[in-house]
Amino acid sequence: MITTETYRKIQQLTEMKVEAVLVSTASVRAAAVSKTETAMIVGETGRISGSIGGGEVEEEVIKEAQEILREGISKRIGIGVSKREEKRRGMLPGGTMKFYIQPLDRIPHLCIFSGGAFAAILARFGMMVGFRITVIDYDPEFVPPEDFSGAEIVITDRYQNLLKEISINKSSYLLIATRDHRYDTRVLTQLLHSNPAYLGIIFSAKKKEALYTRLKEKGIPEDLIATIHLPAGLPIGAATMEEIALSVIAEIIKERSAQNA
């Protein structure tokens, strides 16, 4: 799992537009590897932060990561491990380590439009599966930093001028869950033309047609409206906030996997 400190560093480097890659441990045959040593950030001159356990493997991965950074691609690599390194890491004999290396600007970015308890749960789930998190709200009371550790927090003027506040691209996954359906519509109309990887909204299925009608009245094409995941989340019979958040993350992962296939 990527640590909160690594997520904070990713956010900082992304804002500074520093070119770097994230190295994540994909698999390892090991008896004991620290959970905090599963990711690191590598720039043009070497390791910036984090660790994948040090030693020979880390040195070799850094060289590979620098080459991948120059190529500007995402790539999975496998590294053979010497017997000495196996012993040091507590690995099973004959093992290999696999890593996923991706530029920081290609790390999937989950933007949650609303703070509060549900958003905090969704943010934690998102981090657990490798997303960079941004939470957008207009009331600081709903986004206390202690509840959103590792996430970027953006405070807006009641969700106005969103595209000036956040950067959206094809690696962006957008989830609208405001505390007022009027704000849902305001946010949605601003995001519809941003071409994200995913756009979903927490909304009652019974009110779906009413929302579609309002969007059509605003002149939004039906084919664009059809791209909205409404209500967001896979149909797993979710009832609690945790279950709903899990269904949303599962749907987002499904979309990400389909796009990367």
Domain ranges of the chain: 4-106, 109-260
Closest CA to 259 of 201, 202, 200, 196: 196
Residue 210: partners with Cβ closer than 8 Å, 6 or more residues away: none
Q: What is the pLDDT of residue 261?
A: 64
Contact 152, 46 (CB under 8 A): no
- HSE-CB of 252 using CA atoms within 13 angstroms: 31
Residue 195 is classified by DSSP as -
Contact 133, 110 (CB under 8 A): yes
Q: What is the pLDDT of residue 15?
A: 82
The partner residues of 53 in beta bridges, in order of sequence, read none
Q: What is the pLDDT of residue 236?
A: 96
Ramachandran area for residue 158 (φ above 0: left; ψ -120 to 50: alpha; else beta) = left
Give the tokens for residue 168.
Answer: 């959206």
By percentage, how much of the chain surpasses pLDDT 90? 61
Q: What is the pLDDT of residue 23?
A: 96
CATH C-level class of 109-260: alpha beta
Closest CA to 82 of 64, 60, 50: 60
Kindly report each contact of residues 107-110 with a partner whose C-beta sits within 8 Å and lies 24 or more positions away, as own/partner.
Answer: 107/10, 107/22, 107/131, 107/132, 107/171, 108/132, 108/171, 108/173, 108/197, 108/256, 109/133, 109/134, 109/169, 109/171, 109/172, 109/173, 110/134, 110/173, 110/175, 110/252
Distance CA 73, CA 71 (A): 6
The parts of the chain modelled with pLDDT lower than 70 are: 1, 28-37, 92, 94-95, 261
Closest CA to 177 of 252, 256, 118: 118
Q: What is the pTM of this model?
A: 0.81
Strand order in the sheet with 46-51: 46-51, 39-43, 20-28, 96-103, 75-80
Residue 72 is classified by DSSP as T
121-102-164 Cα angle (round to 5): 60
Distance CA 222, CA 256 (A): 23
